[in-house]
Structure 1
């Protein structure tokens, strides 16, 4: 079976109204922008690969930063002047909402982009 990943990029205002008909975007939407990634679990690693070729990734943040190498930083070190957008790449929706609330204390809502990956199988 062949599978591929789709990335759904959603502005924070759209998150409350997600449905299956939402438009799927790729990293092309933010091409050329400076990007930070929040969350380096499965979604964060996919986001890193998805955005790496067309964007400058300035930082990666994760609450469990100590379990990664030194390139993954504590969320307490987030500096909004270092990126144009921060990609919120957390699988658990409740955790993502809590993190978004934390980020919105110091970051403009328009700069916080949430992603959702889904595995789709092509029709054979």
Structure 2
């Protein structure tokens, strides 16, 4: 698999995981335990899922340059898809029904983006490659 393809898939997998966990955080966890605690619970699950995705996507990519492509494209794909989702939610009016994110929640989100970018450089090189 090329580094570019791996990067796009990595970003897509990360966004898909967030698309599943985000509504669970907002609809199930946040009303019961609060926004910051719900964001931390989601972040723990996301951190593990991102590690699994990164391990698969960089299998067979030994060069630091290739891993940088995976990390960079993964981040770009996630940010682009998040922006499109935010625009769609704004246009539909659903964004207005959610309480604004606090500083703690924003910080957790930024830390997850940094983790997403760093993982392709940190995971083992001998992971199982996808066909």
Q: TM-score range by the shorter chain?
A: under 0.3
**TM-score of the aligned structures, taking structure 2 as reference length:** 0.26
Q: Which has the higher contact order (CA 8 A, sep 6+)?
A: 2
Relative to its length, the structure with more strand (as a share) is: 1
